[in-house]
Chain A
Amino acid sequence: MGAFFKNLLKNKVMLFMVLPGAIWFFFFSYLPLVGTIVAFKQYRFSREGFWASIAKSKWVGWDNFKFLFSTNDAYVITRNTLLYNLAFIFIGLVLSVAMAILLSQLVNKTMAKVYQTGMFLPYFLSWVIVGYFAFSFLSMDRGMFNQILGWFGMEPVQWYSDPKYWPYILIFVSLWKSIGYNSVVYLASIMGIDKSLYEAAMIDGASKWQQVRSITLPMLSPIIIIMTLLAVGRIFYADFGLFYQVPRDSGTLYSVTNVIDTYVYRGLKTTGEIGMSTAAGLYQSVVGFVLVIVSNFVVRKIDKDSALF
């Protein structure tokens, strides 16, 4: 025991350094874990505060989960979250790798920089702003798309109340915002490829396309695999902003825009189904955790340095 305190004292400066962060992690990360027991309770808000609210709520066991999974909601939000993320991951991967290779091939490096700067812009804008951008195209009476349809004598489309267009719109917007950023990662590794490989290939008479296929892509594959696996680990988490801001929280679109994150938020703020919503959040965390662990395990097998832990 005395040795323990001696150690504490010896490390006091370092302990003092981690203290603010550790306190933060305690309150913002670890204490909420305790709060997840609300998923097993019928939540009753108590004026006496956090602990009282949790303690005074009645235990209901797995009822919140049973109820959640007996509704259509659980299916819809799981399906939407998974399918959208799969689309983002795979289409995004193909397009950003293609864009990175394309940029690396441009003869004029200054122009390449200019293009890259343009592509990077959406990454820096908030989802609120992006929501307004989308509105300027999709607005029923003023948006650019309906005007263009008008030129061809077609009826205007009620974009914000017709679900059938939204899978495409959401995928497009998500890719629009992320491709510039992702292609930078790939471009950086393309720049790191040993130039002599290309020289050797060229002496052997390889065409540009052959070089890309047998040098660039194989050299990129570790980072591609790692980025993809890390994204797969996050497949149960949706970008709340995309699914909340871009469709303008339009109720008629929920069937194609509701994801786990927006469902949990609405449970908290709109419908007031705290218990069930927490259950959905816990379901997300548990499955998400398993996926992160599995994908990290796989990443570790491929390239130890790229694993998160």
Chain B
Amino acid sequence: MAELTRKKRDFHNVSRGSNVVLNIIAGLFSFICVFPFLFVVIISLTDEKTLATDGYRLFPAKWSLEAYRFVFQSGDTLLRSYGVTILVTVVGTIVSLIMISLYAYAISRKSFRYRRFFSVFAILTMLFNGGMIPTYMVVSQLLGLKDTLWALILPLAMNAFYIMILRTFYSTSVPEAIIESGRIDGAGDFYIFLRIVLPLSLPGLATIGLFSTLGYWNDWFNALLYIENPSLVPLQSMLMRIESSIQFIQQNSANSSISMAALQSIPQDTSRMAMVVLATLPIIFAYPFFQRYFVQGLTVGAVKE
């Protein structure tokens, strides 16, 4: 066994010293990547008064859970934003998976007469786009989606790039012979898609699904453009709006029983950071899992038919 590990090291040919240096560099960089999140967690757990005198410290003089207590007590707005984000993420991911997987399947079939037309129809959108303002006008004026949840869902639903990734996935992981045998058994195109193709392409679908879940969860731009109604504001966008003042929460909280005196003592800075932590937490927990699929998606996307 010792022999074996030695051999491995020899093959690697990295000296012990440089291995240590490389580890330090890589470790330092990944620490820098994670550190800001830890720092924000610490700030959110600091006592508000300590913060006012000391500023943001790595080792605060006094810890406190007050910020989280405040957020959860008067947090109708936060809960609603969470709700909006979860709803939009779930519905959005489902809608976009349905649309993308159908579209990609159709243009991956050689038997589809118009596949070239619809491939180009999708790819062209990667090259031309009307830009922000014309899109805004179509969505808000023509489709009338302003201040509706659809304005958060639909603009992100399709994406030519995901279609290309999935099309490649279908053509590499679903053998033509299986589809043929399904056809011989008398299955229709739709049945084949549902019962044969989809189960075989689950990893591809999962990749696209996770991409779009992340896209919906992190989206704030569409809310910035289309949402004014406070009860439809998603999480990220709410974090933006409270950036300048926590008053947003106070004004929009149904729980307006908080007295003026109580308003004075609201942990402003810390509760803002507590909300950042709460908005990030699901991602932090999910991302090691996400990561695997992202790496897969990156490699799958790189292969073309």
Contact = CB atoms under 8 A, between A and B. Distances in A.
A177 to B, nearest CB: 9
B25 to A, nearest CB: 6
A202 B11 contact: yes
B26 A132 contact: no
A302 interface: no
B298 A188 contact: yes
A214 to B, nearest CB: 14
B112 interface: yes
Interface in B258-304: 269, 272-273, 276, 279-280, 283-284, 287-288, 290-291, 294-295, 298-299, 302-304
Interface of B: 9, 11-14, 18-19, 22-23, 25-27, 29-34, 36-37, 39-40, 43, 51, 55-58, 98-100, 102-103, 105-107, 109, 111-115, 118, 121-139, 141-143, 154-155, 157-158, 163-164, 188-190, 193, 214, 217-221, 225, 236-237, 239-240, 243, 269, 272-273, 276, 279-280, 283-284, 287-288, 290-291, 294-295, 298-299, 302-304
B137 A240 contact: no
A269 B221 CA distance: 13
B30 A115 contact: yes
A105 B12 contact: yes
A124 B131 contact: no
Interface string A1-32: 00000010011011111101110110111111
A142 B56 contact: yes
A228 interface: no
A2 B301 CA distance: 40
Given A20-B98, A126-B236, A268-B225, 8 more contacts: A17-B102, A20-B103, A33-B134, A111-B27, A127-B218, A281-B130, A282-B131, A292-B126
A235 interface: no
Nearest to B272: A132
B269 A106 contact: no
A130 B35 CA distance: 12
A139 interface: yes
B18 to A, nearest CB: 8
A24 B99 contact: yes
Nearest to A296: B127
B4 to A, nearest CB: 14
A231 interface: no
16 contacts: A21-B103, A49-B141, A107-B12, A115-B27, A129-B276, A133-B40, A137-B36, A137-B39, A142-B56, A147-B55, A268-B225, A278-B134, A281-B131, A282-B131, A306-B302, A308-B126
B133 A208 contact: no
A13 B137 contact: no
A14 B121 contact: no
A247 interface: no
A interface SS class: helix
Contact of A128 (B164, B214, B220): B220
B91 to A, nearest CB: 14
B26 A245 contact: no
Contacts of B243: 131, 248
Given A7-B113, A115-B26, A248-B243, A20 B56 contact: no
Given A17-B102, A128-B236, A141 B55 contact: yes
Contacts of A31: 130, 134, 138, 142
A240 B240 CA distance: 14
Interface footprint category on A: 35 or more
A200 interface: no
Interface of A: 7, 10-11, 13-18, 20-22, 24-25, 27-36, 38, 49-51, 53-54, 99, 102-103, 105-108, 111-112, 114-122, 124-134, 136-137, 139, 141-144, 146-147, 176, 179-181, 184-185, 188, 198-199, 202, 207-208, 211, 223, 240-241, 245, 248, 261, 264-265, 267-269, 274, 277-278, 281-282, 284-285, 289, 292-293, 305-306, 308-309
B interface SS class: helix
A180 B33 contact: yes
Contact of B193 (A17, A114, A198): A17
A11 B220 CA distance: 39
A289 B128 contact: yes
Given A11-B114, A107-B9, A118-B33, A35 B130 contact: yes
B81 to A, nearest CB: 12
Contact of B13 (A22, A118, A208, A223): A208
Given A35-B134, A124-B214, A176-B33, A15 B114 contact: yes
Contacts of B99: 20-21, 24
